[in-house]
Structure 1
């Protein structure tokens, strides 16, 4: 079976069209009197066709039209753009008019790619992903999820495996969808503790007295670093990585003391514990050696900061900032198939982020094999939702339970409130 035939079957029998429509319509399906029936049709979709042909500004009036277009065109990739003030397919009719053509809504999105961690992982580079480096992605999910909920008060957030080597985050609260580019940039900057490399050392927006959000993140990241990253990556058993870690220590004396303590140690976690002991001993000595208590505490904090620098340099989320800053930025749709790996872009439950297995993600081939193994009676019973008898069912259930169900409930409540307000308005007498 050719790739196009496989994708035609995938989009016709396995892709969850109704769930995608239910999400992106945000209750504006025309069934409620207060809904905006034209809302979904103002959403931009971009198809990538064979030969890397990009077809932007696609739009559909409903789930049925979207499903038919996917089946007919079989895109190798689907990207989702913003909601515009007019139907994007008819944008030419508005150019030069007073109405113009511009985005008015777009989910707040984040993109994290494992290639940006190549300097701190030993299991592979570039497109590689495995269970050993996945904790870096899981930590990023945990930090983003906590920050977006606790610090910004967002509720409707979901994470998606990109299909190859990264994670996408979608924040879908109405307040998030209506953020300006400047506000999006400010939120992205809030999470930009990691600011790249300079002379082999990470540039980090950390201080001796950190913001409570950074303190919260550091507590989570230190556990992740000690319990998951170090054992999996064995960073300190790699000579180059060991030297990179030592570069964060503030003095040559500390580095020499750690090297001395490392002699004969053959485990990465034990080497880290030895490093921590040396740093803490030095910090305690500096505190006790200062006559003034304030100066002693400051010297202690300054020394201990290197531990925080090491942990955050290796595990703090490394965001693709440009993806988050602009309302009109495209981002790959959930449930589409990555053209290079054949893996489906499945949602991730943030509560179980550590347990997610990027190597075990369903591929379009495995799903079609499951579909082919169904009996004719079972297939008929599933109807248009044949995916229920495959591993796609787990992915859709995660999407619903972690995100869509609560979003739908809030949207319905909002429409009901609009109806109540409209009914309460006095009728004008002419």
Structure 2
């Protein structure tokens, strides 16, 4: 029986698939139909992945903020979703080995991460529910490709390519700048959702301890674009908040390259009339542009965008003051259109509540078979390792995880976690020293 080196670096004997039985502590409840999947990796594929490839030790340390078992993990809720449609909440694990053993035994399609409570969630059935209080959890942001469907033309539905993935990359850039420059956060990582989105996990202590009201305030600051309606003018307040003014400057070059040139969403004249011209305030300008495009149909989105200024310059005004006001409002409408097409729209529910659960990094997407890996510089969805490819790589390289396509992502995540733990240990040591100084 060949030895297998697993993703945590320990050697184990490859054995028969582990049992699918689960422990009986929390009650299983039906999972929403939207979360169920009838295709993708098989149960035996998932057993193999959990047994030999999933980085349980590193994920445990990331959630625990320390290599030594502690409250941040022993009191942390994890939920499991099964291909049967069951959804098992309020699991918690005191050690990395228990975490690994129980996930392997249950063999879920995926598992999700929740809050740290004042008591171990697995004891929930033996205490009063009112005694269970969520204490902290990472701040999480979720962005999804379906929010850009009105403007992406290269793909549709669940399909994602390197071109439309730029929408997600640009959104991540905007959020990163705000997290660092506006909130001073440093310890965050982006994780591929497995199909067409990305999740940001902010692990700074200041972020983790925010209550629900504070999380909503942070969300309101970031989530300026509540609805991305292509047929309605955004009409943001002026002057722009400094965060929006900065975001606009970051988005402008991407608007030209991604929206106007690559996606070209307004080449169709009817679509342009509905979703481009609806962003402007002046009826005369709108009618003149429609007439212009009717005489020269099928102009590209970039041509149409340039036409706006050309046609606007031909409109006569009764006074210089009205002319100045017209062009100020025209500029503002164009700025709002840049924001409407590219500024990130966040999933409100994911961020605003401490108790909200979200899929763990390195889970397998049940429909695509993709590993939900950390997002590296220049990442695109096709880069994500697939489970069936990893199984082939393991068989071909003598069962060495380090020789698989998963290894660069494991290394990146491990580097992030190690840096986070060092910072936490240093912070706790400094706090102890400060307390000692106060005693004197």
TM category, shorter:
0.7 to 0.9
Contact kept? 1:110, 1:323, Cα under 8 Å: yes
Indicate the residue corresponding to 1:34 in structure 2.
none
Q: How does 1:9-408 map to 2 (within 5 A)?
A: 9-27=48-66, 29-30=68-69, 37-95=70-128, 100-196=131-227, 200-203=231-234, 206-243=236-273, 244-259=275-290, 262=293, 263=296, 266-279=299-312, 281=313, 289-291=319-321, 298-349=325-376, 352=377, 355-375=378-398, 379=399, 386-401=400-415, 403-408=416-421
User: How far is the alpha carbon of 1:422 from its aligned partner?
Assistant: 5.2
SS class of match (2:385): coil
- Kindly state the Cα deviation for residue 116 of structure 1 after the two structures are TM-superposed: 2.2
Q: What SS does structure 1 have at the residue aligned with 2:226?
A: strand
Are the equivalent residues in 1 in contact too, given 2:161–2:382 (CA < 8 A)?
A: yes
**Larger displacement relative to structure 2 (239-248 or 53-62):** 239-248
Structure 1 residues 240 and 186, CA, compared in 2 at 3 Å: closer, same or farther? farther
Q: State the Cα distance separating 1:190 from its structure 2 match.
A: 1.0
Tell me how far apart the structure 1 counterparts of residues 90 and 158 of structure 2 sit (CA, whole Å).
Answer: 29
Which structure 1 residue ranges, 5 or more long, are not aligned? 31-36, 380-385
How many angstroms does 1:9 deviate by?
Answer: 1.4
CA distance in structure 2 between the aligned counterparts of 1:66 and 1:240, rounded to whole angstroms? 56
- Which structure shows the bigger proportion of residues in helix conformation? 1
CA distance in 2 between counterparts of 1:297 and 1:44 reads: 58
Give distance in 2, aligned partners of 1:141 and 1:78: 24
CA separation in 2, counterparts of 1:218 and 1:109?
A: 23
Q: CA RMSD in A?
A: 2.5
Q: How big is each residue's C-alpha offset from its partner over 1:74-133, in whole Å with a ceiling of 9 and x where there is no partner?
A: 110111000000000002332078xx1110011111111112222222233332222232
Q: Quote the Cα distance in structure 1 between the aligned partners of 2:309 and 2:165.
A: 25
Aligned partners of 1:201 and 1:247 also within 8 Å: yes
CA gap 1:289/1:28 in 2 versus in 1, 3 angstroms: farther
Q: C-alpha separation between the residues in 2 aligned to 1:373 and 1:270?
A: 53
Quickly say closer, same or farther: Cα 1:277–1:78, change in 2 above 3 A: farther
Measured in 2, the distance between the counterparts of 1:42 and 1:318 equals 32
**CA deviation map 1:275-324 (0-9, x unaligned):** 34445x379x76x9435xxx765543212111112111111111111111
Indicate if the aligned counterparts of 2:188 and 2:203 stay in contact, CA closer than 8 A.
yes
Q: TM-score of the superposition, structure 1-length normalised?
A: 0.85
Q: CA deviation at 1:146?
A: 0.8
Q: Are 2:422 and 1:409 equivalent residues in the alignment?
A: yes
Structure 1 residue matching 2:45: 3-state secondary structure: helix
Distance 2:314 2:421 in 1: 55
* Structure 1 match to 2:20: none
* Distance (Å, rounded) in 2 between the aligned partners of 1:230 and 1:406: 40
Offset at residue 259 of structure 1 (A): 4.3
Structure 2's unaligned 5+ residue stretches are 1-16, 18-40
Aligned residue for 2:141, secondary structure, equals strand
SS of residue paired to 2:132: coil
1: distance between equivalents of 2:397 and 2:46?
A: 19
Per mean C-alpha deviation after superposition, the further-off stretch among 209-218 and 120-129 is: 120-129
- Separation of aligned partners in 2, 1:208 and 1:426: 52
CA distance in 2, matches of 1:282, 1:188: 43
